[in-house]
Structure 1
């Protein structure tokens, strides 16, 4: 456990930031899951619209440091390729 006042404050800041990161990561995963579910049903129109909503969330996660930029780009690329393959 933190003993100094600065260490206690740092622990509070970390806890606050962790909660924010967890919420943003969960939000991103929800959007990705919606795209994957649409792909599974085979509905390209629905999958494309879900991808249009998911892409900004994935890139926002990269901007906020939740994902590495290359990881985010790879996820978007793979989802896009799968959506196009439906058509």
Structure 2
């Protein structure tokens, strides 16, 4: 464990950020799974609405550096392909 005050603070801040990033990543994955389930159920209207929400979560994660922007674009493209098929 760190002894210096600034190092102790860094540990605390990093733990908070890690927890927040994990929850945002989990929310993003949940939205993606919801879109995929609706696509499998052939529910196109709801799938398109869910895609909008998932796209927003993916963009937000990329913006905050949780995932890489190319990975975000790849995920959105794959989801769009499934929804449009």
Q: TM-score range by the shorter chain?
A: over 0.9
- Map of 2:20 onto structure 1: 20
Please list every run of 5 or more consecutive structure 1 residues that lacks an aligned counterpart in the other structure: none
How far apart are 1:7 and its partner, in Å?
1.2
Q: Are 1:40 and 2:44 matched, yes or no?
A: no
- With 37-46 and 57-66 compared, the bigger mean Cα shift is at 37-46
- Map of 2:70 onto structure 1: 70
How far apart are 1:75 and its partner, in Å?
0.3
Supply the distance in 1 between the matched residues of 2:20 and 2:53 (Cα, whole angstroms). 20
Question: Deviating runs (4+, > 4 A) in structure 1?
Answer: none
Q: Deviations over 1:26-59 (max 9, x none)?
A: 1111111110110111211121111011111100
RMSD value, Cα = 0.9
Partner SS for 2:83: helix
- Map of 1:83 onto structure 2: 83
